[in-house]
Amino acid sequence: MTEYQLSKDLHRIALGDNSAFERFYQATSPRLMSVSYAILRERTLAEEALQDTYLKIWHAASDYRSDAGSVMCWITSMVRYRAIDMLRHARRQPLTSQDIEQLLDQQGGDALPVTAADTDKLEHCMSDLDGTQRQSIHLAFLYGLSHREVSDYLGEALGSIKSWIRRGLESLKRCLQS
């Protein structure tokens, strides 16, 4: 489903159109589920976060403004923040390399072309970062690891991790805005 169709359906959802909501759910839930699961790593919890997110989408559909980014960007934030809030109650096992392999899409995403150009640029800019910076940002952003957990996973000092992430994000921003 294209961004245009998603935002059209979102407008319908704001008017209470349940069939638009179902279409929207079918198109977007596999991606939001993967985002939620990567952070929570437990199916029941991930589905709970997903449920809460779609209830919020139903109620807040009229709040969406296109200047706040694409629809996909907007709802991705919603599910991420819900999942991160739920981490407080989740008892997670430490992340293993196997977990990461399982969660990553080897064939490249087929579900939702967000806006290909943006994604390409992000990929390019991420690949410009040094390995540890890139890995730290991935671990925090995609897998919901805290500074402490990133430091344990990579076996590096907490202080170094903090500054790596900070500097990595700065370089990423410069590259994305260039």
Question: Which of 2, 55, 124, 163 is in the footprint of other proteins by CB under 8 A?
Answer: 55
Q: Is the dihedral of CA 109, 114, 120, 121 positive or negative?
A: negative
Note whether 98 and 34 are within 8 A (CB). no
∠ Cα 100 28 129 (to 5°): 40
Nearest to 64 by CA among 76, 49, 52: 76
Residue 3: Cβ within 10 Å count: 16
Q: Among residue numbers 2 through 41, which ones bind other proteins (CB under 8 A)?
A: 18, 22, 25, 29-31, 33-35, 37-39
Taking the complex as a whole, the smallest distance from the CB of residue 13 to other proteins amounts, in Å, to 11
Q: Which residue's entry shows tokens 């589920």?
A: 33
Q: Among residue numbers 99 through 138, which ones bind other proteins (CB under 8 A)?
A: 102-106, 109-112, 114, 118-119, 122, 126, 137-138
Query: Is residue 92 at the binding interface for other proteins, with CB under 8 A as the rule?
Result: no
Question: Which of 71, 140, 153, 164 is in the footprint of other proteins by CB under 8 A?
Answer: 140
CA 51 – CA 54 distance, rounded (Å): 5
Taking the complex as a whole, the smallest distance from the CB of residue 109 to other proteins amounts, in Å, to 5
Question: Which of 76, 95, 133, 164 is in the footprint of other proteins by CB under 8 A?
Answer: 76
Note whether 135 and 142 are within 8 A (CB). no
CA 75 – CA 100 distance, rounded (Å): 23
CA 69 – CA 11 distance, rounded (Å): 15
Question: Which of 54, 64, 153, 164 is in the footprint of other proteins by CB under 8 A?
Answer: 54
Catalog residues that contact other proteins under the rule CB under 8 A: 18, 22, 25, 29-31, 33-35, 37-39, 43, 46-48, 50-52, 54-56, 58-60, 68-69, 72-74, 76-77, 80, 82, 84-89, 102-106, 109-112, 114, 118-119, 122, 126, 137-138, 140-142, 144, 146-147, 165-166, 169, 172-173, 176
